[in-house]
Structure 1
Amino acid sequence: MENEDILMALKNGNVPSKGVRDLCVGRDNEIAEFERLLDKVDDEDKAYTKFLKGEFGDGKSFFLKVIEDMSFKKGFAVSWITVSNNVPFNKIEIIYRNVAKNLRVKTGTSLEHIIDRWYTQHYNMASQDADNDFEKHAMLRERIHDELEETRQYSTTFATVIENYAKLRSEGDKEGASYAISWLRGDANIPFSVKKKFNIKSEIDKTNALGFLEALSVFIKSAVGYSGLVVLVDEVEIIRKLIRQDIREAAYDYIRLIFDNCSNGQFQSALFVFAGTRELFEDPKRGIPSYTALEERIKKEYETDLVDVRTPVFVLKGFDKNDIIELSEKLLDMHSDAYNWDANAKIGPIVEIIAENHVSNAGLTAGKVKARVFIRKFITLLDTVEQNQNHFNTPEDILEEFNGNINQVEDDEFDEFDDDW
């Protein structure tokens, strides 16, 4: 059923939960660079900020999913957040809360389970090494304290809450320990009487949220043992639509701070990837160019069509003819397997013609075909032919069906507030 599930997701305009790496064509240079960056984050505790630039439907969310899968395979913890009215980037405390809430590892576990498993491992080791309960708890406290040494250098408060979480767990206070995790996730309105249990008076706010984000990445790597933290930020173009200039600039400044802190070593063991539309990177009135402090850091010094994946901004372009042919062949194999028929025999001979026709109709995008447009139409064609095989007696019949619909793109197909690609 996996191939069928992938095909259905693609046909519906969504990014599939599996199989994206095999379907990511025309991005070999970008994938190789992210492989290299992830290895440096893991091996050298480096931190990086990258940006993905592309039109609606060009595959930004799809490529973020590829990065997510790569990160999971390399042992990273990943948090995917989508900028929206409810997740505004001008409020860093809300960004931290969503990063912590959406944190996942390959097994799907959350921040709460990550910390719980880490605590349990140390508890079990202390239980094995100690001769009595007093010695066990003393040994556990010492182990936990030592494990948090690097984290403490970034945020004493963050380390203190985890230490007291462990203390409450060892004392059997499950409610207090649960509140400690809630506080670490950025939850507000925790009663003061409860916060006293883990020796905290304040809350996570705009004054300390960035430091907590730094401490979180160090904790995940140095204490828990994952390769590092990857934060994927989708639909950043929402910032450009904010009416008030001061709010837009606050959002851009937090991105600038993250960029600077990765560059100067304040962040460790972390990779941030921001994805947005061309307008976000080019609009001089509301986009990133309107905020010089960020624009000067990420802009290209000169324009060239030659490959340079080491610049801050990756430009994701649409498909060319070769990309379409390569992807078509993959989709033919998947469709044949999913629905038990020989799609290659029926449609394989005309794939090159389909690719040429699609490219020739992409004049407004310099011959680059939008990923989502082609994939949805091609899978619809496969479904139609498979279910009506007696109707299509020749390759010309299939081409007539496909070419008759090649230009039928709905006006709202690239709804900028619902860009799942």
Structure 2
Amino acid sequence: MMIENIKPREATSIINSLLGGVVPKTGVQHITVGRSAEIQAFINALEDVKNGHSMVKFWIGDFGSGKSFMMHLLNTVAMKQKFVVANADFTPQNRIYANDGKSLALYTAIIDNLAIQTKPEGGALSTLMEKWIEQIITKAAQENNISIEDIRNEQYEKLIQDYIMRTVNELTDVGGFDFGLVIMKYYQGYIKDDELLRKNALRWLKGEYHTKTEARQDLGVRDIIGDDNFYDMLKNFCKLFVSIGYSGFMINLDEAINLYKIPTAVMREKNYEKILSIYNDCFQGKVSNLFFNFAGTREFLENERRGLFSYQALKSRLETNKFESQEIRDFAQPVIRLMPLNETEIFVLLQKLKQVFDINYKTNVDITSEDIQLFMEELFNRPGASEFLTPREVIRDFLNIMSILRQNPGFDKAKLFADIEVKDERPVEEDLENIKEI
């Protein structure tokens, strides 16, 4: 079981991130175990979205069961299938419905994190804009029999602007005029090397203007992106990406427990209503090539008082297929439950991590498969391990031991294994239950 084709950069990203207790942004496919059925189902769903359908999936699992890991893996798979992807986390400061700037904050995070295969770390907005503009320039040159060099001259600026506006109008439904105007400004900045104009256009597209006056002064537009219209803008971007030649736009929203924690019932309900309207848009064919993934705990989904199931219209859509069991899974439904990794899968995962660690440090730490077995026995035999040991903790302990052995070869492994402590890292459930209703 050798890891193949791993780039040094990916190895470093994996080790550094996992030691820090977070999921690596790149390279996760090299250490994936036990999720092949879920991934296959996801690839089938991507195929549908590529063909013009839209999709919403809810990835539900307990704390530490690998939801964030799964989200990053979905990114890697989708980028290979030529999707534009974006990740954002729900936090107390951002949500999907708001009237105080909190959903605009979510929108800005999404646009900031746009990623494509050549820019997997995010920040791909300007690359995508330039790609699109170059296509418009080429099209205008061909249709008007002008050479690709000449068409960049100032005399043809108006021609290109007409093409930009026409294309944007064909693509967009709501808010298209200002969207087109801003892209035109971006084009002017791009062609004339006017860095400030380009920056201002990007600022508008990211939702970073907070007053219409300022946006009008800088860009001559009437409107700005806000809580009320950010979803329309995401749909506009989706159409734009598809027109460039991408398969679609996938948006991953993690840490959905933060919607469950919204203290006011009315505001929580408004957020669930927004999720329902996105869900209906996607499944009723009102939008094309758009894929939303939400990741959250069982509490977020099933709690009848404050979870998604507290909103009847969502509950009826998201209830699990009653014929599903742990052995017989139905991955076609909107909710995909992530089962915890079993001990065999964790063993394979640790073997893979050992290889990545050695590749990263150009070393060969003295840990055998038998040692990994011993490490796992020590860990899983601890009091409480079966109840709350998560892959995150197993991985961190294993890498910490590897780090010590790399720097202190010959140190007694058995002593390190014996020193392992199992801690309950889960958030306290009663805290969630006792959040004050306002």
Q: How far apart are the structure 2 equivalents of 1:204 and 1:170?
A: 22
> Which residue is 2:132 aligned to?
118
Asked if 1:34 is matched to 2:56, the reply is no
> Which residue is 2:333 aligned to?
311
Match 1:322 to one of 340, 344, 363: 344
The CA deviation string for residues 175-216 of structure 1, in whole angstroms up to 9 with x for no partner, is 556444433322333453753786642333344332222222
Residue 85 of structure 2 contacts residue 114 of structure 2 at CA under 8 Å; is this kept in 1? yes
Asked if 1:10 is matched to 2:18, the reply is yes
Q: CA deviation at 1:298?
A: 1.3
Q: How far apart are the structure 1 equivalents of 2:313 and 2:224?
A: 29
- CA-atom RMSD in angstroms: 3.2
Q: How far apart are the structure 1 equivalents of 2:361 and 2:112?
A: 38
Give secondary structure in 2 for the equivalent of 1:272.
strand
The CA deviation string for residues 338-378 of structure 1, in whole angstroms up to 9 with x for no partner, is 445544x6422243454455555587757x95210211122
> Which residue is 1:264 aligned to?
284
Residues 352 and 293 (structure 1 numbering): CA distance in 2 closer, same or farther, change over 3 Å? same
Equivalent residue letter for 2:294? F
Give secondary structure in 1 for the equivalent of 2:234.
helix
Equivalent residue letter for 2:423? E
Map 1:253-292 → 2, pairs under 5 A: 253-292=273-312
Q: How far apart are the structure 2 equivalents of 1:180 and 1:271?
A: 26
> How many residue pairs get matched?
405
Asked if 1:210 is matched to 2:235, the reply is no
Structure 2 gaps of 5+ residues are: 1-7, 430-438
Residue 151 of structure 1 contacts residue 158 of structure 1 at CA under 8 Å; is this kept in 2? no
Q: How far apart are the structure 2 equivalents of 1:376 and 1:143?
A: 54
Equivalent residue letter for 1:84? T
Give secondary structure in 2 for the equivalent of 1:233.
strand
Give secondary structure in 1 for the equivalent of 2:88.
strand
Asked if 1:88 is matched to 2:95, the reply is yes
Map 1:136-285 → 2, pairs under 5 A: 136-137=156-157, 139-153=159-173, 155-157=175-177, 159-162=179-182, 164-165=184-185, 168-169=188-189, 174=194, 178-192=199-213, 195=216, 200-222=221-243, 224-285=244-305
Give secondary structure in 1 for the equivalent of 2:250.
strand
> Which residue is 2:355 aligned to?
333
> Which residue is 2:436 aligned to?
none
Residue 93 of structure 1 contacts residue 204 of structure 1 at CA under 8 Å; is this kept in 2? yes
The CA deviation string for residues 20-46 of structure 1, in whole angstroms up to 9 with x for no partner, is 11111111111112222222222x122
Q: TM (normalized to structure 1)?
A: 0.84
Asked if 1:409 is matched to 2:422, the reply is yes
Q: How far apart are the structure 2 equivalents of 1:16 and 1:163?
A: 33
Residue 54 of structure 1 contacts residue 277 of structure 1 at CA under 8 Å; is this kept in 2? yes
Q: How far apart are the structure 2 equivalents of 1:330 and 1:81?
A: 28
Equivalent residue letter for 1:376? R
Give secondary structure in 1 for the equivalent of 2:368.
helix
Residue range with higher mean Cα deviation, 136-145 or 161-170: 161-170
Equivalent residue letter for 1:68? N
Residue 79 of structure 1 contacts residue 102 of structure 1 at CA under 8 Å; is this kept in 2? yes
Q: How far apart are the structure 1 equivalents of 2:300 and 2:16?
A: 31
Residue 216 of structure 2 contacts residue 222 of structure 2 at CA under 8 Å; is this kept in 1? yes
Residue range with higher mean Cα deviation, 156-165 or 55-64: 156-165
Asked if 1:62 is matched to 2:69, the reply is yes
Q: How far apart are the structure 1 equivalents of 2:176 and 2:411?
A: 71
Q: CA deviation at 1:284?
A: 1.8
Residues 264 and 123 (structure 1 numbering): CA distance in 2 closer, same or farther, change over 3 Å? same
Q: How far apart are the structure 2 equivalents of 1:79 and 1:162?
A: 21
The CA deviation string for residues 309-355 of structure 1, in whole angstroms up to 9 with x for no partner, is 11211212222122022112212222333445544x64222434544
Structure 1 gaps of 5+ residues are: 393-397
